[in-house]
Amino acid sequence: MSERSDVDENKRATLRRFAVLGAATPLATLRDDDGDESEVRDAIAGYVATTPGAHFSKIRDDLQLGTGEAQHHLRELLDAKTLESRRDGDYRRFYPTEQFSAFEQVALGYLRRETPRGMLIELLRDPAATGSDLADALDVSRPTVSKYAASLEEAGLLDREDGYAVREPETVITLLVRYADSFGERAASFAAQADGFISFDP
């Protein structure tokens, strides 16, 4: 088999895997054209359902789509209100329609970034962690921690009045646990121990 055929077959397998998820969602109903078009849209819908907050380039690359192809199908899904999007700096992030609050959308956007995600996880593990503790744990500089802490505060995810405190921690924990597989090993490890970080006040 040629290299080109291998690439095409790999793309087809990836699309089919996510199309199953997309076809199962109640809003994925764009089926008035040919099967290939529908399969790509179902795949995008399925991918976003399992990776909410993903930006355009990640969707395109992970599903092995062309830029124009991804733009076309995302536009169709937005027009059909299967997906919605939110501008996040230089990125446009995508979410299943009406599934997440504004706070959750912002949180997911930051959880898709490695350093802010690591900071939030470390602070959920140890609410007393200092900027230096975070820098050591994540192997980044102290100014990097300060820069992202300011961004997280501005986004409403962090309170810096007295040290660092995650706002709406149980919401952030829920998102981390629910989508842990899409966030990487640190999040998966945290999710496995998440019960210990949730407090109940009956």
First-to-final CA distance of the chain:
62
In terms of domains, do 46 and 112 share one? no
Residue type, 164: Y
Contacts of 4 (CB under 8 A, 6+ apart): none
Specify the CATH number for the domain of residue 86. 1.10.10.10
The token pair that represents 166 in the structure block? 């995650």
Q: Work out the average pLDDT over 160-187.
A: 94
Question: 18-58: per-residue pLDDT in tens?
Answer: 655 544 454 444 444 455 668 889 999 999 999 999 999 99
Question: 71-109: per-residue pLDDT in tens?
Answer: 999 999 999 999 999 999 899 999 999 999 999 999 999
Report the domain count for the chain: 2
Residue 202: inside a domain, yes or no?
no
In terms of domains, do 35 and 83 share one? yes
CA dihedral 113, 115, 119, 121 (to 10 degrees): 60
CA separation (Å) from 161 to 92, 122, 152, 166? 30, 18, 13, 11
In terms of domains, do 94 and 107 share one? no
pLDDT in the model for residue 178 = 94
In terms of domains, do 79 and 136 share one? no
In terms of domains, do 71 and 148 share one? no
Alpha helices in 80-141 (DSSP H): 102-111, 114-125, 131-138
In terms of domains, do 92 and 111 share one? no
Residue type, 21: L
Final residue in a domain of this structure, among 99, 131, 159: 99
In terms of domains, do 74 and 108 share one? no
Least-confidence region, from 81-85, 133-137, 178-182, 195-199: 195-199
pLDDT-derived band at 1, boundaries 50, 70, 90: very low
pTM of the complete model: 0.82
CB-side exposure of 133: number of CA atoms within 13 Å? Answer: 14
In terms of domains, do 145 and 182 share one? yes
- Note down the domain range covering 18: 3-99
